[in-house]
Amino acid sequence: MPSDRPNVLALILARGGSKSVPRKNILPINGKPLISYTIEQALASEHITRTIVSTDDEEIARISREWGAETPFLRPVELAQDSSVDFDGFVHCLEWLKENEGYVPDAVVHLRATGPVRRVAVIDQGIELLMKTPEADSLRTVVLSKQTPYKMWRFDGQFLKPVVTLPDIPEAHSVARQDLPKTYWQNGYVDVIRTSTILEKHSMVGETVLGIEIDEPVFDIDYPEDVARVEEGLRRLEAGLPLSDDIAIDNRHPV
């Protein structure tokens, strides 16, 4: 590899608590702990140079190390609550690495352990695109949204107000869907963020965001009934079979 190869950190947030699916980050999935799939994908990437799991849980840390990830610290419990946000976990990790190791990566890849049905090629595609686009702050994968926000409403007291409007299309809510701009849903498949965006702009996206449209369904474990679908998705991925909507998770998770 050339000496100017960017330092790219894969960060996997994996707290010990989970109400809907207890201990889901290490739940056995097709005979392996759930988090192992995401660790393996990070290690298989051509561009990721370091893989860290940030967890508050000793058992998750041990299992993560067994599968090849680093766990140089335990995340403070106050940053691993139901209400905790990803941004705080990323800031904690980056600041810890800078203060304790003098290590500052060029970019961080956000890989969610609960969505393991992903292709390593897409991870690398995202890293490559961000690295060759210096004006971009981050990159997110998206899917075409199933519902258009231009036909959505919110309550303002007892009255309805449009969620979003279009300056060039008055009353967009009454226009045919095909005549409205396409909109996209962030699917959490992979995010790539410049370290400076997080530490200097105090954001997980910044102002200039690249996108990669994913034309495959999303798989994620939010509820117990999702486990069988994720297992089947992983089997199909390993076998080189297409991923189809008949086993996919609907785009309901608020990533």
Tell me: the pLDDT tens digits for 162-202?
999 999 999 999 999 999 999 999 999 999 999 999 999 99
- End-to-end CA distance of the chain: give it in Å, rounded: 34
Cα–Cα distance between 247 and 226 in angstroms, integer? 9
SS3 215: coil
Smallest Cα–Cα separation from 21: which of 223, 220, 250, 219? 223
Token look-up 């210096």 returns 134
Q: Interior CA angle at 39 toward 33 and 45, to 5°?
A: 150
pLDDT at 149: 96
For the stretch 128-164, pLDDT in tens is 999 999 999 999 999 999 999 999 999 999 999 999 9
Helix axes of 58-66 and 34-44: crossing angle, nearest 10 degrees: 40
Q: Which of 69-73, 165-169, 205-209, 246-250 has the lowest mean pLDDT?
A: 246-250
Cα-to-chain-centroid distance, residue 204: 11
Position 3 scores a pLDDT of 52
For each of the domains in the chain, give its residue range(s) and CATH number, in order of start: 8-141+187-239 (3.90.550.10), 146-182 (no CATH)
Whole-number Å distance between alpha carbons of 129 and 36? 26
In this prediction, residue 255 carries a pLDDT of 42
Tokens encoding 208: 């200039």
**Average confidence score pLDDT of the chain:** 93
The rounded distance, in Å, linking the Cα atoms of 12 and 24 is 14
Widest Cα–Cα separation across the chain: 62
At which residue do the structure tokens 């290490």 appear?
A: 26
Determine the Cα angle at 19 with ends 15 and 20, to 5°: 110
- By the 8 A CB rule, do 80 and 15 touch? yes
Task: List, for residues 240-254, the tens digit of each pLDDT value.
Answer: 888 876 665 544 444
Residues 63-68, mean pLDDT to the nearest whole number: 98
What does the pLDDT read at residue 109? 98
**β-bridge partners, 52:** 11, 70
Res 254: pLDDT = 40
The amino acid at 180: L
